[in-house]
Chain A
Amino acid sequence: MVEVGDRIIGYSTDTGVRNKGASGGLVTAVLAAALEKGLVEEVVVLKHISEYEAVPIITSDVNEVLASAGSMHTVPVNLAKYAVGKNVAMPGKACDIRGVIEQAKRNEVDIDNTYLIGLNCGGTMYPVQTREMLINMYEIDPEDVTGENIEKGNLIIRTRSGEEKGISIDELEEAGYGRRESCRYCDVKIPVNADLACGNWGVIGELSGNATFCEVMNEKGVRLLENAIEAGFIEVQPASDKAIAIREKVNNVMLSMSEKWSEKIFTEIPDSERTRYYMEQFADCIDCGACKEVCPACTCGEDSKCTMYHNLEDNYRMSMFHMVRLMHLSDSCIGCGQCTDVCPADIPVTTIFRRFAEKSQKKYNYKAGMTLERPPFLEVMPR
C-alpha cells in the first residue's frame, strides 16, 4: 500500500531495463506499466539519436518506452509541450514539470489525465560543448562515454572501460563548460511539483547506482507506483532515515550553488539604466520567433499579442514582441533555458526574462510552475 508522502527506494524487475536505465530503471518501468495497464494512452519519452542527442517521442508502444531507458543530461529539451491535449505519462526535470503545470493553468493540459514523473536534476549540458569539454577537460573520447552523474559538486563521467573521472562543476564552469546558464541558477532541483519525485540522491550502500529514490507527492503518484507494483514491473522498499537525510543534503548543496549563481547573475540594474539595458540586449534579434515557439509557458499560438502588435518594419531595436513577452513572462517564466538554447543570435533570453520576472515573483513570493495557483499578479490588490 503506497501513500502520499512515502519515500521509497526501488528498481525495475526486468534485468535488461535495470541495467540499461539510469539508477535501476524504476522510472522507465513505471512509465511502461502505466501504458501496459491502461493508466494512460501514451507516454512521452526521449528517443536516443546518440549519447548526446535525443528527440522526444509520444508512443503507445511499451517496447519503445523500455528502449528509451538511460539518462540524457546532455539533451536540454523541455518536454512540456508534448503533453498538450494528451492522456500521457511523462518523465521530466523540474523545469519540464513546471512547463506542464503552466500549460495546465492555461487549460492546454488536462492535469488529471497527465502523470508526471519528476527527475532530480542538477543541470543539463549542451551536446556540442559537452563533447568539447570531454576532450579538453577530461581527455576522454566522447564516443567512449556511457553515462554521467553529479556527485558532491563533481561531474562524474563514466566510460566503456568502467573508468570514472570527476571534475568539480565550479572548475568546469569557470572554464566555460558544464551546465547551461539557466541550470546554474535554477532553484528547483528535486521536482516536488511532480506526481513522483525520483532520482539517485539518497541511494546508498549496495543499491547505489542500481536503484531510484522516489517520493510520492500526490494521489496520482500513488496510482503510478501501485500500478507498477501490481503489474510486477518494479520492486520497492522504504527509504531509510539516512537515505532521506543524504538526499536532503545533496539538494541543499545544489541549491546553495544555485543561490551563488543567482547573486552573480541577477545583479540589480538601476532604474535609469533598465530601458537601455533591455534595448541593448535585444538589439541583435533577427525576429525568428524561436524563443516563443519553444517556450513551455506560452500557449497563445501563432496569433498572439506579442506577434500581432509587432512588425519588422518598425524601426525600434527592442520591439513590441520583446516588450509583450517580458510582461507575459513576468508571472510565468520558469527559467527552463529553452529560449536561450534556440536563439540564433546567442541572446541570453532566459536570463533576461528571469531578471525581469525575478523582482515581481520574489515580491509576491510566487514561483511559476510549482502549483496550479493563479499568479498573484492577476488578483486585485486589497487595500
Chain B
Amino acid sequence: MKEMIYQTICPGCGVGCGLFIRENDEGKLSIDHMKSSPVNLGKLCRFGMKLPHYYAKANNAENMVDGSAVDAETAIKAAVDILKDADTDSVALLSVGNTSNEEQMAFTKLAETLGTVVQTGVQKMCMPEPRTLAGIEKAKKIVLFVDPYVQYPLIVRRLLAAKQNGAHVISVGTKPLNLADETLDLKPEQYGELELDSESLIIADVHPNSDAGMVSYVKALAKGTGAGLQFMKPFMNSNGAALLANKDGSRIGLAELMEDIELGNIRTLVTLDSDPVELMPDAEAAIEALKKLDKLIVISSVKGPATGMADVVIATDPVYSKAGTFLNVEDSLQKNSGTGKAGVDALSLLNAGIGGKTFTHDEMNYLVMKTIEASKDGPSGKMQCSGTDIAVSSTDIPEDMYELRYLYNPFMWSDREDDNDFVLLNRNTVKKLGLKKGGCVNLKGEKGELKMRFRVESIPDGLVLTAKKLSIAKGVSTAISMEVC
C-alpha cells in the first residue's frame, strides 16, 4: 500500500488554513489536520472538513472542445485559435484568486501578450496593509461587519481569545452573534456611535459582491478613528490575485464585467478557476450573459456551470496537488508540496501560441517572489485609504414584502451540497405566516418560487437571511413575499 500525502491549504476562503490531503492507492482522499500551521493550528471549519467531497475525482475538470473530451494539446490549440481570431479589445480575462500565484502570474503574462489586464472581480481600489490574524487577539474593541461563524469560521477562535483578553466585541448587523457583547443595526451615518480609537479593530470583507459604498464607509471609519482595519477575503489567493494582476490598467468589479458581456462589449472571456455563474448572486442571469459571448475559454481544476458552457476547457491539477504558492489574507506566503504544473504549462503554450514567449513554472515562481518582495516597500502597500463618496446601495422593498438578504458566505461560490439549506426568519414573521416548527416557507420573487426550511433568529422584522445561494435571488438583496407551504 502506498499513500500520497500532500501538504496544502484549504481553498475555502482567504484565511489559508493548512492541512494535509491523503490519497490512497485507490484514489480515495481524506484529510489530516496540520497542527503546525500557524494560521489554523490544524483546525478546519465545516467546509475544510468536507474537502474530500469537494476534491472528489468526479468534480475534476476535463479538457474539452465544444463539449467533447480531448487531450490537453488539442484543447490548448483550440484556445489559441480562438484568441488569435478574437478582437483583442473585446477579450477579458478573469481570475479571482482560486489558484496558485504561479498560475496567476502566468495568466498575467497571457493578458500582457493580449494587451489586456487580468480582472480579479473586485474594483481596483486602495486597500489598507494586511494585518496579522493573531493581531485580532490583541484588540481592545472589535467591530464586526461579518458573521465569523458563517463567513470566516477560523477567526472565531481569535475573537474568543480577544474577548478573554478583555476585548469588547460589537457586531454591526442584524443577526445576533453569541460572541458579540452587542449587536447594533447601524446605518453608515451612525457609525460615530461605535466610539472607536487606535486600539480598536474593524473586521469587514471585500469580495466580488461587496457593496462598494459600504467598503468606502468602512475604510473612512478606520481612517477617521485610527482604528485598525482587517479586510477578510473570500478566495484562497485573493491577495495573490490582486498583487499579481497587471499593475497598470483598469480593474472593474465582477458585476460591471458581466454587464460588459451583457452589452456585447466583451465577446471572448477567458477564466482561470473563476466561474461567473457560481460567483454571481443571480446564477440564471449569469448564464444568460455568458450565452451572449462569442467564445468562452475556461481554465480550471474543477467542473462548474461555466465548464459545461465553455467552447474550450483546459484542465489543470486539483489545487491540493499543484506546485506553487499562495498569499493568504494576512499576506503570509504558503506553499503546496504538490508537483503539478499543468496550469502553468498550458498557459505557457497558450501564450506562445498567440505570439508571446513560453515560460516555466520556476520562472513564474521567480517573478512571484520578486513581486512580493517589491510590494513590501512599494507605494501600494503604504497607500493611505480615505473614504469616497460612493453611496451605499439599497434595494427598495415594498411595504408588504420581505427583504431576502445574503449572509454572504465565501463558500457560496462552490455551491456544494451543505446542510445550511434554510432561511432565517424572526419570531414575528413565523407567527404572522403561521409557520410550524419543522415545516417550510414558500418564498416568492420575480424569478419564481422556492420552498425552504427555516430557523428562528432574533433579526429585524421584514428580513429573511440566507447563507446559501438561492435560485430566486436577483442580487445580494431581493424583494420577496412569503407564505406557509
Tell me the A residues contacting B by CB distance below 8 Å. 42, 47, 49-50, 52-53, 55-60, 75-77, 126-128, 283-284, 286-290, 293-294, 311-315, 317, 341-346
Contacts and interface: CB of A to CB of B under 8 A. Distances in A.
Nearest to B154: A344
A59 B1 CA distance: 6
A50 B43 contact: no
A287 B455 CA distance: 15
A283 B45 CA distance: 16
A343 B43 contact: yes
Given A341-B35, A346-B157, A288 B48 contact: yes
A49 B38 CA distance: 15
A284 B179 contact: yes
A278 B2 CA distance: 43
Nearest to B422: A313
**SS of A interface (majority):** loop
Interface in B1-59: 1, 3, 5, 7, 20, 22, 32-38, 40-46, 48-49
Interface of B: 1, 3, 5, 7, 20, 22, 32-38, 40-46, 48-49, 149, 153-154, 156-157, 160-161, 178-179, 419-420, 422, 453-457
B3 A57 contact: yes
B13 to A, nearest CB: 12
A284 B156 contact: yes
B178 A286 contact: no
Contacts of A312: 419-420, 422, 455
Contacts of B40: 344
Contacts of A311: 419
Nearest to B423: A313
A240 B358 CA distance: 71
B42 A342 contact: yes
Nearest to B454: A313
Contact of B44 (A50, A60, A127, A344): A344
A288 B45 contact: yes
B3 A346 contact: no
A50 B157 CA distance: 26
A311 B420 CA distance: 9
Contacts of B453: 313
A317 B179 CA distance: 12
A176 to B, nearest CB: 12
Contacts of A289: 46, 49
B153 A288 contact: yes
Given A293-B49, A312-B422, A342 B33 contact: yes
21 contacts: A49-B7, A50-B36, A55-B22, A56-B32, A59-B1, A75-B35, A128-B36, A128-B41, A286-B156, A288-B48, A290-B33, A312-B455, A313-B455, A315-B457, A341-B41, A341-B43, A342-B43, A344-B40, A344-B44, A345-B153, A346-B156
